[in-house]
Amino acid sequence: MHPEILVLAWGTVLLLVNIFLAGHLKTRQYGADWNIGPRDAPMPLLEPRAARVKRAQDNLLETFPIAIAALLGVVLAGRTSAATTAGAWIWLAARVVYLPVYWAGIKGLRTVIFLISLIGLLMVLWPLLRP
C-alpha cells in the first residue's frame, strides 16, 4: 500500500476523533436530550473550549477534501515520491498537533501549525501540477 493512502486512512481517523470530541463537548454542555433530540431550538453559544474544538473540526473539514484530492491524485497518477510521502506525513502530523493546540487556545501556534500542514499538502500536490 502507498504511504499516502495510509496517511489518508489515518486522516480519516483523525476526522472521526475530532467529530466525536466536538460532539461530546457539546453534549456535556447542552445535555443528552439535546443530543438525541431534533436540535430545533436555538442554543446558547458553546463554552470557549468546546467552541475551539468545533472550529478545529470545521477547519479540518474545509481542508480534508484538498488532502483527499492530493493524496489520491498522486497515487492514481503514479507520481508518488519520497517528497509526497514526507509531505503526507507532515500534513497528518501537523493536523494531529493542531487539535490539542487549538483546544488549549495557544495563541499564534495554531496558525503556525496550520501553515505547516499546508506546506505538507503542497508537497503532495506539487507533482500533480507539473506536466
The residues, any chain, with a CB within 8 Å of residue 111's CB and separated by 6 or more, are: none
pLDDT digits (tens, 9 = 90+) for 62-105: 999 999 999 999 999 999 999 999 999 999 999 999 999 999 99
Residue keyed to cell 509531505 = 87
Sign of the four-CA dihedral 75, 77, 83, 84: negative
Instruction: Provide φ and ψ at 2, rounded to 5°.
Output: -70, 140
Amino acid symbol at 74: V
pTM of the model: 0.93
Read off the pLDDT of residues 19-42 as tens digits, 9 standing for 90 and up: 999 999 999 999 898 889 898 888
